[in-house]
Structure 1
Amino acid sequence: MRTPVLYLGSYFVSVLGNSIAAIALPLIVLQATGSAMSAGWVAAATAVPAVLAGLFMGVVIDRINRVTSSVVTDLVSAASVAALPIVDGLVGLEVGWFVLFGIIGSLGDVPGMTAREALLPGIARGSRLSLERLIGLRESLGSISLLIGPAVAGLLMTLFEGSTVLWITAGTSLLAALLTLGIPRGVGRIEAVPATAPLGAWAEFVEGWRLLTRTRLIAMVTGLMLFSVMVLSAFQALILPVHFTLIDRPGLLGFVLTSIAAGLLVGSAIYVVLARRFARRTWLVTGLLLSSLGFVVIGLLPATWLLFAAGFVLGLGSGLCGALLGLLTVSGVPETALGRVMGTQNALVTAAAPAAILLAAVVIEHVSLTAAALGFVALWVLTSVAAVAGPALRDLEPIEPETIDA
């Protein structure tokens, strides 16, 4: 069981570091530059290379040992963050430094996430854990990271100077790399597939894109991931903050986000324990039903206590089916193409969040807050209905057992 423990530990500290950085870094940019616009420029400048890296680095991940690619990408992330306090001590931080090292870090962030996800089949083969349980455990640890990350970030920003906090976030990436380095290299080895002629890098990228878009199952799973991120990002980043600002209670936003994270933790934990007790279709329908109910109540912007309850229900539903969506991708794509397909998925998800926030801002500005909230709720409900009613996700059971004993 040493290999899955190292893998899950690496995933946990990586997500924890990202959740801390997501809160701390914008505050540090504001402290260093005194400009909210600068924080916006940093976010925008790093988003584009992150998406491009996610799209095209999948080909590289499918060509080299996945343990190696995971370690290298974590080291790139650690170095890009650690460079900021060094520059701060030498010449002081300006917005250009944040943009430069943000772009360098983006070459490690999304590809690192992809490399770690592409390791899943190898980790499952080398342990007594099924893919269901392994992915469920991973989702549970991710939920814990998201639950405690903002609180840790707030504590660190209170105890230390901003640039000092960056050493800690860099340390989480370094620790993730060291843990992954302990995984046997054989786990990350990619078995060669006989072919009439080797494909070039561009042909491999196109092949991965076709697998994602032309395989009905993978296309629908990707669509669910995309729209889930879009709707959740719009509510977390704009709709709920505007709502709580209008009622003059901005401090309550954190409690709603915490209730969502708590629901995610409970839902993913239930899936870990009971994954094999019920059909995959049952988990999917239940999860989509609960998440839709949560979104509908939140979209009505009701009394605060109802928002807390709806946030938990939303997280619960997402936790119940979130691990399943990851499992369907891993088991539905040839292992030799996982880097390309998951890299494209992660790139699209990375682009979806800012696009949704921008759309929500336009609707709020030119129509109303209520229209934005109900519009995104309708988007998710229609997506869920299409997923449940369509043929792509009707038969989800594996043809062969997925558990392989060591």
Structure 2
Amino acid sequence: MRTPVLYLGSYFVSVLGNSIAAIALPLIVLQLTGSAISAGWVAAATAVPAVLAGLFMGVVIDRINRVTSSVLTDLVSAASIAALPIVDALAGLEVAWFVLFGIIGSLGDVPGMTAREALLPGIARDSSLSLERLVGVRESLGSISLLIGPAVAGLLMTLFEGSTVLWITAGTSLLAALLTLAIPRRVGRTEDVPATEPLGAWAEFVEGWRLLTRTRVVAMVTGLMLFSVMVLSAFQALILPVHFTRIDRPGLLGFVLTSIAAGLLVGSAVYVVLAHRFTRRTWLATGLLVSSLGFTVVGLLPPTLLLFAAGFVLGLGSGLCGALLGLLTVSGVPETALGRVMGAQNALVTAAAPAAILLAAVVIEHVSLTAAALGFVALWGVTSVVAVVGPALRDLGPIEPETIDA
């Protein structure tokens, strides 16, 4: 069990570090500059290279040992954060430094996520855990990280100066790299495939997109992930903050986000324990139904206590089927192509969040907050219905990955 423990520990620490950074970095920028626009520029400047890195680095991940690629991407993330307090001590920090090292760090974030996900089949083969159980446990740990990350970030920002918090954040990425480095290198090698004429880098990139868009299960799963991220991002980043600001209770936003994370934790834990008791289709339909119920109530922007409860229900439904969605991608793609397929998938999901926030902002500005909330609820409802009744996800038994043509 040493290998899965190292893998899951690395995943937990990495997600925790990202969760801390998501809260701490904007606050540090605000402390140094006093400008919300500056914090916005840092976020915007890092989004595009993160998407591009996710799109094109998947080919590299498929060509080298995945343990190596996971370690390297975590080291890039650690170095980009650690560089900030060093520059601060030598010359003082300005927004340009945050943008520069944010761009460098983004080159490790999405590829790192991809490399770690592509390791899953190898980890499962090297342990007594089934792939289904491994994905479920990983999702539970991710939910715990998301649950405690904001609180840890707030505590660190209260106890320490910004430079110290940056060192601690860099340390999480370094620790993740060290844990992954302890995983046997044999785990990171892809399975042997029949000897064929090797594809060039561009041909492999195109092949990854073909598998992503033409494998019906993987295409539908990607669509569900995209719309889920869009709806959640719109609510978390804009709709709910605007709502609580208008009722003059902005401090309550964190409690709603915590209730969602708690629901995710419970849902993913239930899936881990009971995954084999029900069919995959039952888990998917139940998760989508429960999450749709939660989204609907949240979209009505009800009284605060009901909003907390709805957030938990929303997270519960997402947790019930979240691990299954990841499993379906891993199961439906040849292991030798997981890097490029998941890289494209993660890039799309990364781009979906800012696109949804922008769309929500336009609707709130030119129509109303209610229209934005109900519009995103309707989007998720339609997506859920299409997923459940459509042919792509009708038979979710174990599937054979599509082969790659030379």
TM-score by length of 1: 0.98
Alpha-carbon displacement from aligned partner over 1:178-212 (angstroms, at most 9, x marks no partner): 00001000000123433542111000000000000
Q: 1:217 Cα deviation (Å)?
A: 0.6
8 Å Cα contact 2:136/2:272 also seen in 1: yes
Provide the C-alpha distance between the structure 2 equivalents of 1:3 and 1:405, rounded to a whole number of angstroms: 32
Alpha-carbon displacement from aligned partner over 1:243-300 (angstroms, at most 9, x marks no partner): 0011111111111000000000000000000111110000000000000000000000
Provide the C-alpha distance between the structure 2 equivalents of 1:215 and 1:399, rounded to a whole number of angstroms: 11
8 Å Cα contact 2:334/2:403 also seen in 1: no
Q: Which residue of 2 aligns with 1:315?
A: 315
Provide the C-alpha distance between the structure 2 equivalents of 1:304 and 1:57, rounded to a whole number of angstroms: 43
8 Å Cα contact 1:126/1:405 also seen in 2: no
8 Å Cα contact 1:125/1:404 also seen in 2: no
Report SS of the residue matched to 2:63: coil
Structure 1 stretches of 4+ with a deviation exceeding 6 A read 400-406
Provide the C-alpha distance between the structure 2 equivalents of 1:205 and 1:177, rounded to a whole number of angstroms: 26
Q: 1:32 Cα deviation (Å)?
A: 1.4
Provide the C-alpha distance between the structure 1 equivalents of 2:261 and 2:110, rounded to a whole number of angstroms: 22
Alpha-carbon displacement from aligned partner over 1:282-337 (angstroms, at most 9, x marks no partner): 00000000000000000000111110110000000000000000000000000000
8 Å Cα contact 2:332/2:400 also seen in 1: no
8 Å Cα contact 1:205/1:340 also seen in 2: yes
Provide the C-alpha distance between the structure 2 equivalents of 1:93 and 1:33, rounded to a whole number of angstroms: 9
Provide the C-alpha distance between the structure 1 equivalents of 2:403 and 2:100, rounded to a whole number of angstroms: 44
Residue 96 (str. 1) matches residue 96 (str. 2) = yes
Provide the C-alpha distance between the structure 2 equivalents of 1:275 and 1:402, rounded to a whole number of angstroms: 25
Q: Which residue of 2 aligns with 1:384?
A: 384
Alpha-carbon displacement from aligned partner over 1:8-67 (angstroms, at most 9, x marks no partner): 000000000000000000011111122111111111110000000000000000000000
Provide the C-alpha distance between the structure 2 equivalents of 1:88 and 1:278, rounded to a whole number of angstroms: 54
Q: 1:163 Cα deviation (Å)?
A: 1.8
* C-alpha distance 387-124 of structure 1, shift in aligned 2 (>3 A): same
Provide the C-alpha distance between the structure 1 equivalents of 2:32 and 2:66, rounded to a whole number of angstroms: 37
Provide the C-alpha distance between the structure 1 equivalents of 2:103 and 2:257, rounded to a whole number of angstroms: 28
Q: Which residue of 2 aligns with 1:86?
A: 86
Provide the C-alpha distance between the structure 1 equivalents of 2:193 and 2:93, rounded to a whole number of angstroms: 49
Q: Which residue of 1 aligns with 2:174?
A: 174
8 Å Cα contact 2:261/2:312 also seen in 1: yes
8 Å Cα contact 2:67/2:185 also seen in 1: yes
Report SS of the residue matched to 1:62: helix
Residue 111 (str. 1) matches residue 111 (str. 2) = yes
* C-alpha distance 404-270 of structure 1, shift in aligned 2 (>3 A): farther
Alpha-carbon displacement from aligned partner over 1:87-135 (angstroms, at most 9, x marks no partner): 0011010011001100110110000000000000000000010011100
8 Å Cα contact 2:217/2:393 also seen in 1: yes
TM-score by length of 2: 0.98
8 Å Cα contact 2:283/2:321 also seen in 1: yes
Q: 1:222 Cα deviation (Å)?
A: 0.1
8 Å Cα contact 1:230/1:356 also seen in 2: yes
8 Å Cα contact 1:128/1:403 also seen in 2: no
* C-alpha distance 266-63 of structure 1, shift in aligned 2 (>3 A): same
8 Å Cα contact 1:131/1:402 also seen in 2: no
Q: Which residue of 1 aligns with 2:399?
A: 399
8 Å Cα contact 1:77/1:106 also seen in 2: yes
**Could you list the runs of 5+ residues in structure 2 that have no partner in the other structure?**
none
8 Å Cα contact 2:71/2:181 also seen in 1: yes
8 Å Cα contact 2:58/2:339 also seen in 1: yes
Provide the C-alpha distance between the structure 2 equivalents of 1:26 and 1:403, rounded to a whole number of angstroms: 44
Provide the C-alpha distance between the structure 2 equivalents of 1:132 and 1:380, rounded to a whole number of angstroms: 25
Provide the C-alpha distance between the structure 2 equivalents of 1:389 and 1:157, rounded to a whole number of angstroms: 47
Alpha-carbon displacement from aligned partner over 1:372-404 (angstroms, at most 9, x marks no partner): 000000000000000001000000011589999
* C-alpha distance 165-88 of structure 1, shift in aligned 2 (>3 A): same
User: Is 12-21 or 185-194 further displaced after alignment?
Assistant: 185-194
Provide the C-alpha distance between the structure 2 equivalents of 1:17 and 1:138, rounded to a whole number of angstroms: 15
Q: Percent identity?
A: 92
Residue 290 (str. 1) matches residue 290 (str. 2) = yes
Report SS of the residue matched to 1:268: helix
* C-alpha distance 392-332 of structure 1, shift in aligned 2 (>3 A): same
* C-alpha distance 169-215 of structure 1, shift in aligned 2 (>3 A): same
* C-alpha distance 402-172 of structure 1, shift in aligned 2 (>3 A): farther
Provide the C-alpha distance between the structure 2 equivalents of 1:156 and 1:314, rounded to a whole number of angstroms: 29
